[in-house]
């Protein structure tokens, strides 16, 4: 009992010290428990830093940095004359809301884009949809639902607004926003628009490959 009163008084003083003066105003200099956190050696955004030849404090991420958050083309964002793409390029839809039929003309469809598409497909898509897009990826055994068969251009699934053959815009939309079921999450925060269109191109190549292989196999029979 003899320890109760001292302990009680300590608790009261502690609570009053922490909570009792919250919201009060004072002209006194605030207590700095960690001064280095109040006055950090740093450069604020868009200020000058003479350490670099261009005197800019803002720096681009080093080459190979993994994207987190919105997948922007940083070189374009920091360019003197940035390029603003149209709505079809960014969303896969036309101004009237209809789906874009083919990859927008502002993207150069070449082998470089195909290689980019394969690279990003192997990283983000193959684990569920399989190397050939048949939906038999490694994760298909564990997620409780068979992933969409991307190699089948006829498309009998209903991941987004319509079944039947998808346009390139619909594939782009699914890559960006994910499946309607929510099983597949969107990749717009991990892939730039160009990278998403590159995957669309690669998926079309897979469909063509599987279609030709199936036809050749049926002819042999």
Span 48-73, pLDDT tens digits? 999 999 898 888 878 777 666 555 66
Strands (E), 3-152: none
**Cα 81 from Cα 98, distance rounded (Å):** 30
For 71-83, the pLDDT digits (tens) are 566 666 666 776 6
CATH number of 97-220: 1.10.760.10
Q: Select from 135, 172, 178, 128 the least CA-distant residue to 156.
A: 135
Please tell me the predicted confidence (pLDDT) of residue 160.
46
The gap from C-alpha 143 to its chain's centroid, in whole angstroms, comes to 21
The gap from C-alpha 187 to its chain's centroid, in whole angstroms, comes to 4
- Which residues in the chain show pLDDT less than 50? 158-161
CB 111 within 8 A of CB 119: no
Domain boundaries, the chain: 97-220
Q: Select from 136, 174, 168, 172 the least CA-distant residue to 153.
A: 168
Confirm whether pTM is higher than 0.75. no
- Which residues, other chains included, contact 210 with Cβ-Cβ below 8 Å and sequence gap of 6+? 132, 133, 134, 151, 152
Q: Position of tokens 């079921």?
A: 181
């Amino acid at each position: 009992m003899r320890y109760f009163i001292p302990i009680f008084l300590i608790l009261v003083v502690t609570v009053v010290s922490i909570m009792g003066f919250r919201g009060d105003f004072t002209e006194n200099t605030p207590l700095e428990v960690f001064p280095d956190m109040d006055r950090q050696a740093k450069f604020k955004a868009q200020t000058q830093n003479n350490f670099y030849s261009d005197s800019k404090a803002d720096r681009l991420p080093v080459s190979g940095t993994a994207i987190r958050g919105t997948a922007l083309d940083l070189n374009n964002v920091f360019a003197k004359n940035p390029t603003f793409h149209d709505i079809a390029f960014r969303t896969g839809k036309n101004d009237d809301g209809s789906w874009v039929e083919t990859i927008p003309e502002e993207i150069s469809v070449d082998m470089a884009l195909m290689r980019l598409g394969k690279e990003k497909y192997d990283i983000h898509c193959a684990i569920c949809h399989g190397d050939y897009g048949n939906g038999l990826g490694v994760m298909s055994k564990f997620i409780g639902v068979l992933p969409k068969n991307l190699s089948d251009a006829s498309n009998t699934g209903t991941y987004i607004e319509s079944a039947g053959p998808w346009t390139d815009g619909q594939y782009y939309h699914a890559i960006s926003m994910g499946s309607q079921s929510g099983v597949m999450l969107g990749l717009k925060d991990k892939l730039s628009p160009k990278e998403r269109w590159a995957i669309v191109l690669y998926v079309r190549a897979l469909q063509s490959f599987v279609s030709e292989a199936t036809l050749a196999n049926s002819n042999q029979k």
